[in-house]
Structure 1
Amino acid sequence: MNDQTPGRLPVDATLEMRVLREHVASVYAGNTTAIAAHMGFAIVIGCFGYFYVNPAFRLLIVALIAAIVLVDLYALFTSRWTPAVPLAETPYWEKKYTRIVTIISTITAPSSLFLVSIQDPMLTTFVTVVIMGSWTRAVQARWPLKRAMFGYGIPMMSGLIVSLAWYGGALNWFLAGFAFVNLVLTLSEGVKQNRRLTASLILQFENEALAAQLREQIAATERASAEKTHFLAAASHDLRQPMHAIALFGAALGNTLRHRPEVRNVERLMRAVNALGASLDTMLDISRLDAGVVQPMPHALELDELFLPLHNTFSVLAERKKLQLRVRASGLWVHSDPQLLYRMLSNLVDNALKYTRQGGVTVVARRRGEQAWIEVRDTGIGIAPEQADRIFEEFYQVNNPGRDRSRGLGIGLSIVRRLGRLLGHAVQLRSRPGRGTRFRLTVPLAEPTDASQDSLLLQELESPVRHFFQVPELGGRVLLIDDEEDIREAMTELMRAYGIEVVAVADEAEAVEALTQPDADLNPVALLMCDYRLGEGAEGLQVGLRLRERFRLDAPMLLITGETAPDRLQRVREWGVPVLFKPVSAATLMQAIVELIHVEASAEGA
């Protein structure tokens, strides 16, 4: 057990003990059969020799056979190793097994003297061959335990060799030599097989240990990823709450000061709020993709309908950095989700512009068989081979140790990878440090169609913020449920600035009180607006559903939340309730209400 395979590190004690345990289990698995066969063979040979040897030796033969049978019976009925034996006790059972088989072999060895004394050449040859054959098979069964192999093999075969040499004669000496060669070769091969078995078990256990370590590392990585996601969700929620209040107060203030010079300061404030909101939305995208709430709706689309808003969106940034942005028309049609594919391309172009100091960025598409290759190339700083995988990790940025905010959060490529998996579009990277980078998306081609694309809502793709919006016409008041006092005040102030009456409450109890007022029927609720996470662990979604059922409210419900936890986003999606994520601009809020009222009116009309 202490043999070392060349080039292998020393085996630690626990591993050595496990290997020994497997060897012991192996020999004990066939122990009963082997001992029973030995006892039967001894009895048959003894009976055979009893009638052929000198009558003076018959009593000795009977005594020898009896001794062999007694030892074999002891070996059969003595306590034996079982899988329940503790690992630490394995050496004891290895020694006990070795001791028993050595005794059996030693007691059996003298029987060769009587068989050889028959002095019948043919009989002697037959008996010798039979003994060597049975002995060889018995030794092979004990290869796993080297000491047991020697303990069983040497005494018995030595008895045969000595007996043949003792009686002399050319035939006996030849058989003695043959038996000696068989002894040496069998034991030599047994040593080799023992080493192979040991090395194989060591390799097996090492692989199992490595597999266990890998599982632990994967589990640890998954836990770390889950903890990171939960942390980001919690941090995002806590940041979105005050940001939402700031956005609402700012919008109300801007509306009040719209004809005064001070409105410029409000505009600067809102630009800063929108920039921070965009960063929070980027983190939200990660949670939404992890939650599975983003469902692609692929269909045939013309790539140039995506390339136009892509150029319009980033041409100003490229011009500001004195870079060339080339977006080449292709005339190709592909099968994909336009919104998600546009998001992938915009993230790639945005990333390319950030890391390009001179030259420019090119977007091209080419046909390759049944696929379209959409490539975003730049002449930027490039990516070293050892960083090629890491750039798709969240928050990892090449050559940005100071976390320059102008280069974003380092999440864009992570979103590209997630969207690529969601859409089934392979993302390939090729880069040379100092020479530039090429990202390639592989998208299936599609046949052109006559269906109207509505220009893919180009204005929607180019800018997520609507600067011009329609004020909704509600046939009643808005019931707002939010546990944040600042948000209730800000929302009330904003809505009143646009002539919308709001009843703002903190929880379900206050909402019930407002709905049970004597004049509640005179001014019905036209819209139920709820925060998702309310005080004391209450959930706005369930609160709103209960209120609609209890008071038979026909008003639509709109969730506004800073929640980004994947499991909760998935629950909102399953209920199919519209949701806005804080911070919400006045334009986005008003437009969402208009669309919600329109959908509700269309449903009633149908």
Structure 2
Amino acid sequence: MNDAARSMHQPPAAADLDHRVLREHVASVYAAHTTATCAHIGFAIAIGIFGYLNIDSTHHLLVIGMVAAVVSMNLYALLAPRWTPDVPLSESHHWARRYTWIVTLVSVTTALPCALFLVLIQSPAMTTVVIVVIMVSWTRAIQARWPIKGAMFGCGIPVMGGLILALIWHGGTLHWFLALFSFANLVLTLHEGVKQNKRLTASLMLQFENEMLAAQLRERIAAVERASAEKTRFLAAASHDLRQPMHAIALFGAAMETALHDHPERTNAKRLMRAVDALGASLDTMLDVSHLDAGVVVSEPQALELDALLLVLNQTFTPYAEQKGLQLRIRASGMWVHSDIQLLFRLLSNLVDNALKYTHEGGVSVVARRRGDKVWLEVRDTGVGIAPEQLSRIFEEFYQVDNPGRDRARGLGIGLSIVQRLSHLMSHPIEVHSRPGRGTHFRVVLPQAEAAITAPAELLLDELEMPAHRSLAAPNLPGPVLLIDDEAEIRLAMAALLRAHAVDVVAVTDESHAVEALTHPDAKSLPFSMLLCDYRLADGGDGLEVGLRLLERFQLDIPLLLITGETAPQQLRRAQSWGVPMLFKPVSAAALLQAMAELTSVTGQARIFSPATRYFRDPSPVT
């Protein structure tokens, strides 16, 4: 089957690969074409001079004529149109065939003078010298045509075939020996040439296949990155759109719960708020991933008494374990580690929470062990276990073992993804071993530290406790709060909640109305005590810029608190760089009132809060 027919039966990628390989072969022979042709002209002239001097003078004109014919054919080959890199890939076969015909014509033209010299030379010694010189030159010419098999045969067979026939015709033992030797040399040289051609072709095929695979890999990586970016944008938009109504529901529900304090319907209000808190916790879990990916969470390691942290962990999860009829064993160790207290607490909380969710009998244990200068903090359970083929996937987002029905009680499947991110952030390697039906064993490797002065366990517990679990404490504000939010429902809900806790509110839609409120006579007699502003305002308005402009324009020495459903990493970093505290929707009443109380009681400090993310501290400017 010829090349064209073979290409028709191959898939497009393979046919294109063949064309690329042939193009490289054509480029290779044409790159050496000028040098090889000039060398052949020089060789023809040298043989002509040698023959002119060593044969009878009656044949001199014949020699000159044949040398002239050889030189003319080589000049034609030298001056004929040739392949260039601009030639289309599809024309590679045409140029390969053209090159083959040219070198074949040159070889046929050369074969006659060489054979004639052997017939005319009467000296055995001279005949041997001519044979050796022609063989050396011929072998070099064959090597230059290795990339194109047809050109290699077209260049080699006519010349050597003519010599062999001339030697046989001449007769005699020496000439027959030289004919046999030349024939063996022809066969072996062409055989080696075929093998070299296969090696060159295979090498080029491998090179181009690797390039194609690399290109495909780059395309797939780009596609995955685009899909990831699209997913991030979708989740950010969906999260923001979900957080807006959830925020209003949470605020209205908190206000209703307060209003129904002594009413029988207060039980239903509490149930409503539990459902709202559960949905808010799911949204905050997704927000944790955005926080970590945004780079706004910074690890601040210090010497930490591990038992104090384990005590908090025990008090946090013991009620949940008892509710499920499980045993929670957390063993004191007396060890100190070098870590970030809030990030480590969050990591361990996720591991213990995950262990309790997937354990139906037995219990969960948390044990610390000293190994050299390291501490192994291990969380073991007697749960369902994880199959070996699933171990590599448990840290993926939204992946859950043994939860095909997506039972909401088991969470979203993000907890271990957050564990892995925290592990990388703090440089605490995490290992996992599991046996289906026997349980799972997680190990966090921590650097050991020397004992140091630390806060009492009670203060540590208060620092790590979720704001949603704290009692409502209304802020003591000397004046009203200025609220800027473009959504009417949010303004009504926020005002209802704050007024239920004796906090006066002036709610406006945008910056121009805020200016009117700040220039109103009532604002001079009773100045505002705080500025609450939604991050994303109508018509692309930026709540951060609006709030900072108002503070500067009216020289206000009051706290600015942003409330947002925004989860885009760049927005989080931007707010952090200004040191402006931020609450993420849906905001619980406890978190809102506590944040307001902290901002009014601590002058000059800016903190970032989150209902379910307690590892945000006083932010430093982002460079």
- Give TM class, smaller chain: over 0.9
Runs of 4+ in 1 over 6 A off after TM superposition: 1-4, 8-11
Counterpart of 1:386?
389
Q: Is the 8 A contact 2:308 2:460 kept in 1?
A: no
Report deviation, 1:125.
Answer: 2.1
Distance 1:120 1:3 in 2: 52
Could you report, residue by residue, the CA deviation over 1:410-440 in whole angstroms, capped at 9, with x for unpaired residues? 1111111111222222222221222211122
Q: Which moved more, 1:118-127 or 1:295-304?
A: 118-127
For residue 270 of structure 1, the aligned residue among 257, 270, 273 is 273
Counterpart of 2:32?
30
Report deviation, 1:3.
Answer: 13
Report deviation, 1:451.
Answer: 4.5
Distance 2:94 2:529 in 1: 84
Amino acid at match of 2:51: G
Counterpart of 1:137?
140
Query: Are 2:486 and 1:489 aligned?
Result: no
Distance 1:526 1:351 in 2: 43
Q: Which residues of 2 match residues 109-508 of structure 1 at below 5 A?
A: 109-116=111-118, 117-452=120-455, 457-508=460-511
Report deviation, 1:592.
Answer: 0.9
Report deviation, 1:196.
Answer: 1.7
Counterpart of 2:109?
107
Report deviation, 1:79.
Answer: 1.6
Q: Is the 8 A contact 2:312 2:460 kept in 1?
A: no
Amino acid at match of 1:71: M
Distance 1:109 1:204 in 2: 38
For 1:443, what is the secondary structure of its paired residue?
strand
For residue 67 of structure 2, the aligned residue among 58, 65, 69 is 65
Distance 1:250 1:284 in 2: 22
Q: Is the 8 A contact 1:248 1:585 kept in 2?
A: yes
Report deviation, 1:469.
Answer: 4.6
For residue 46 of structure 1, the aligned residue among 41, 45, 48 is 48
Counterpart of 1:81?
83
Distance 1:60 1:343 in 2: 100
Report deviation, 1:20.
Answer: 0.9
Q: Which moved more, 1:348-357 or 1:169-178?
A: 169-178
Report deviation, 1:456.
Answer: 6.5
Report deviation, 1:483.
Answer: 0.9
Q: Is the 8 A contact 1:143 1:194 kept in 2?
A: yes
For 1:549, what is the secondary structure of its paired residue?
helix
Counterpart of 2:570?
567
Q: Which moved more, 1:569-578 or 1:396-405?
A: 569-578
Could you report, residue by residue, the CA deviation over 1:29-86 in whole angstroms, capped at 9, with x for unpaired residues? 2111111111111112211221112222221221121122122222222221111111
Could you report, residue by residue, the CA deviation over 1:140-193 in whole angstroms, capped at 9, with x for unpaired residues? 121111111111111111122222222222222222222111111111111111
Q: Is the 8 A contact 1:233 1:563 kept in 2?
A: yes
For 2:603, what is the secondary structure of its paired residue?
helix
Report deviation, 1:466.
Answer: 4.2
Distance 1:360 1:405 in 2: 22
Distance 2:596 2:465 in 1: 22
Distance 1:294 1:319 in 2: 33
Q: Percent same amino acid among aligned pairs?
A: 64
For 1:109, what is the secondary structure of its paired residue?
helix
For 2:65, what is the secondary structure of its paired residue?
helix
For residue 95 of structure 1, the aligned residue among 91, 94, 97 is 97
Could you report, residue by residue, the CA deviation over 1:91-113 in whole angstroms, capped at 9, with x for unpaired residues? 11111111111111111111222
Q: Is the 8 A contact 2:103 2:155 kept in 1?
A: yes
The Cα RMSD (Å) is: 2.2
For 1:465, what is the secondary structure of its paired residue?
helix
Distance 1:190 1:531 in 2: 78
Q: Is the 8 A contact 1:236 1:564 kept in 2?
A: yes
Q: 1:94 to 1:74 in 2, by over 3 A?
A: same
Could you report, residue by residue, the CA deviation over 1:292-333 in whole angstroms, capped at 9, with x for unpaired residues? 111111122122222111121111221222222122222222
Amino acid at match of 1:102: T
Report deviation, 1:277.
Answer: 0.9
Q: Is the 8 A contact 1:477 1:500 kept in 2?
A: yes
Amino acid at match of 2:352: V
Distance 1:347 1:285 in 2: 12
TM-score with structure 2 setting the length? 0.92
TM-score with structure 1 setting the length? 0.94
Q: 1:433 to 1:601 in 2, by over 3 A?
A: closer
Distance 1:304 1:29 in 2: 76
Could you report, residue by residue, the CA deviation over 1:563-600 in whole angstroms, capped at 9, with x for unpaired residues? 11222222222222110011112221121112222332
Amino acid at match of 1:297: E
For residue 582 of structure 1, the aligned residue among 563, 580, 585 is 585
Q: Is the 8 A contact 1:113 1:160 kept in 2?
A: yes
Task: Name structure 2 gaps, 5 residues minimum.
Answer: 607-623
Report deviation, 1:601.
Answer: 5.2
Distance 1:602 1:238 in 2: 31
For 1:441, what is the secondary structure of its paired residue?
strand
Report deviation, 1:130.
Answer: 1.8
Q: Is the 8 A contact 2:560 2:580 kept in 1?
A: yes
Q: Is the 8 A contact 2:599 2:605 kept in 1?
A: no
Distance 2:293 2:135 in 1: 70
Distance 2:522 2:325 in 1: 63
For 2:521, what is the secondary structure of its paired residue?
coil
Report deviation, 1:263.
Answer: 2.5
Distance 2:382 2:455 in 1: 37
Q: Which moved more, 1:485-494 or 1:441-450?
A: 441-450
Distance 1:96 1:562 in 2: 70
Q: Is the 8 A contact 1:310 1:462 kept in 2?
A: no
Query: Are 2:535 and 1:517 aligned?
Result: no
Counterpart of 1:544?
547
For 2:298, what is the secondary structure of its paired residue?
coil
Q: 1:196 to 1:465 in 2, by over 3 A?
A: same
Q: Which moved more, 1:113-122 or 1:509-518?
A: 113-122
Counterpart of 1:592?
595
Distance 1:11 1:68 in 2: 43
Could you report, residue by residue, the CA deviation over 1:356-400 in whole angstroms, capped at 9, with x for unpaired residues? 121221222222233222221112111122212222211111111
Could you report, residue by residue, the CA deviation over 1:442-493 in whole angstroms, capped at 9, with x for unpaired residues? 2222222235476662133243424225432223321111111111111112
Q: 1:565 to 1:294 in 2, by over 3 A?
A: same
Q: Which moved more, 1:260-269 or 1:68-77?
A: 260-269
- Count residues with an aligned counterpart: 600
Distance 1:325 1:507 in 2: 52
Q: Is the 8 A contact 1:478 1:526 kept in 2?
A: yes
Q: Is the 8 A contact 2:430 2:442 kept in 1?
A: yes
Distance 2:307 2:453 in 1: 15
Q: Which moved more, 1:452-461 or 1:75-84?
A: 452-461
For 2:271, what is the secondary structure of its paired residue?
helix
